[in-house]
Amino acid sequence: MNDAPRATIAVPKAPARMMTTAAEAPTKASVSCPDPIEGEWLALTYNPAVEDWYQVRLSIKRAAKGSQVVQGEVRVRFWSGDSEAKAPPGCQDKAAAERIVLQPARGTFAGDQLQFNAQSWSFAPDSCFKQGRYNLDNYSGRVDSALGEFHARNDDSGRARGEESLFRRVKCAGTET
Rounded CA gap, 167 and 30, in Å?
A: 10
Range of the domain at 57: 35-102+144-177
Give the distance from CA 55 to its chain's centroid: 7
Mean pLDDT of 145-165: 84
Domain presence at residue 109: no
Residues sharing a CB contact under 8 Å with residue 24, sequence separation 6 or more, in sequence order: 44, 86
* Tens digits of residue pLDDT in 60-74: 999 999 999 999 999
**Cβ 143 vs Cβ 5: under 8 Å:** no
Rounded CA gap, 29 and 145, in Å?
A: 13
What does pLDDT average to over the chain? Answer: 82
Domain presence at residue 173: yes
Give the distance from CA 156 to its chain's centroid: 11
Question: At 170, phi and psi to the nearest 5?
Answer: -115, -10
- How many domains does the chain divide into? 1
Specify the pLDDT at position 13: 37
Specify the pLDDT at position 158: 65
Domain presence at residue 26: no
* Tens digits of residue pLDDT in 21-41: 444 444 455 788 899 999 999
Which of 138 and 156 is assigned the larger pLDDT? 138
Domain presence at residue 48: yes
Specify the pLDDT at position 21: 41
* Tens digits of residue pLDDT in 69-91: 999 999 999 888 888 888 888 78
Specify the pLDDT at position 176: 65
